[in-house]
Structure 1
């Protein structure tokens, strides 16, 4: 059996935790409402250091976490006694119809093929199962976007350049994108990736205030 190549986030878990998680509110904006109450295990795809485990438990579900980075999972283990595993979001190690709920959190920019990730997430859902995808807003967050101090955004023509970007002049020198790059999908490509799964799309949200930083989707596997 071959070894899993080093994950992009390996070696960054402690820095990531300090920078983005440890002082953050317990629930990301709107996520509790998008999930709604439920039972049984919820697969957190791209769980990172476990930022959303408390939210999952607050809905009545239990945590199953998957991430490609062993380093991230090392920190996530401090937040749950439930199953955590190293795995590829584009090739999930679960049988068809294994879960009533799955979450795809903040990974559209970190994987090579987001459409394939959505297909896999759909596959492991039972008929009628719930999928919540939550993460970067394709229009206002990416290699094309300059963040101004007043909260406004300046969008450059590179918005149309889909695919992997390893550098952008507008990225913060101490930010995550300078460290690992970013895979950009324009909005139409992002939404079409959901349509291609056959999911029944229930709701779109732009959580937070001001110019949207996040885009969230609530959908179900067809019964």
Structure 2
């Protein structure tokens, strides 16, 4: 099966910039400082590697797109693995920390990704996740030019969306599509993983939140 992001690595970095992403301070706050390897699940082109290293940890990256991993290799000498986030190629209890950013809309089963993250964490290990806000961002939401958002009554239409009329022709969603979860689906995926949520954030930057982040710990 062809990875959805194959062939887009250079475009992705040009589109979103090669500098530290704007969510880096929030990621560092949720992750905290530490040591040892941190697994970046769905690492893409490696834009979050600096955040991992800034907290004192080393990078282990995993992505389903070989093309994205090729670009990520320019950002780390550490291990990079081609694999499925819902079937991680690691033994139980391999990591103390893991992150997964902007993956909830790119995978077929976000709950399976969280369950796998829980499996490869050691007891007491921490997962930090950032993703699209299920309520205020998604295929049912239009970003207007004046900063407002129009929300359509299609919020409960979960699953894959591939062609919403308001998606920009040159945007990531027009190229990739996205998977939509309701807020209840999202929270129940955390509960079903066996991880214990410690903190939720709606990161600053927009008057109406566009992202939802959380830190959860393996009991």
TM-score using structure 1 length: 0.95
Classify 1:25/1:180 alpha carbon distance in 2 versus 1 (closer, same or farther; 3 Å): closer
Q: 1:53 is matched with which residue?
A: 49
Q: Is the 8 A contact 1:26 1:54 kept in 2?
A: no
The CA distance in 1 between the partners of 2:159 and 2:21, in whole Å, is: 32
- Tell me how far 1:21 sits from its aligned partner: 2.9
Which of 199, 203, 208 aligns to 2:199? It is: 203
Classify 1:27/1:212 alpha carbon distance in 2 versus 1 (closer, same or farther; 3 Å): closer
Give the 5 Å matches for 1:118-129: 118-129=114-125
Does the residue aligned with 1:11 lie in a helix, a strand or coil? coil
Q: 1:86 is matched with which residue?
A: 82
TM-score using structure 2 length: 0.97
Q: Is the 8 A contact 2:202 2:209 kept in 1?
A: yes
Q: 1:221 is matched with which residue?
A: 218
Structure 1 runs not aligned, ≥5 long: none
Q: Is the 8 A contact 1:151 1:211 kept in 2?
A: no
Structure 2 runs not aligned, ≥5 long: none
Query: Which string of whole-angstrom CA distances, capped at 9 and with x for unpartnered residues, describes residues 58-107 of structure 1?
Result: 00000000000010011100100000010000000000000000111111
Aligned residue-pair number:
218
The CA distance in 2 between the partners of 1:132 and 1:121, in whole Å, is: 10
Which of 187, 191, 194 aligns to 1:191? It is: 187
Q: Is the 8 A contact 2:21 2:48 kept in 1?
A: no
Classify 1:148/1:24 alpha carbon distance in 2 versus 1 (closer, same or farther; 3 Å): farther
| CA RMSD, Structure 1 to Structure 2 (Å) | 1.1
Q: Is the 8 A contact 1:27 1:54 kept in 2?
A: no
Does the residue aligned with 1:30 lie in a helix, a strand or coil? helix
Decide which moves more: 151-160 or 111-120.
151-160
Q: Is the 8 A contact 1:29 1:208 kept in 2?
A: no
The CA distance in 1 between the partners of 2:173 and 2:193, in whole Å, is: 28
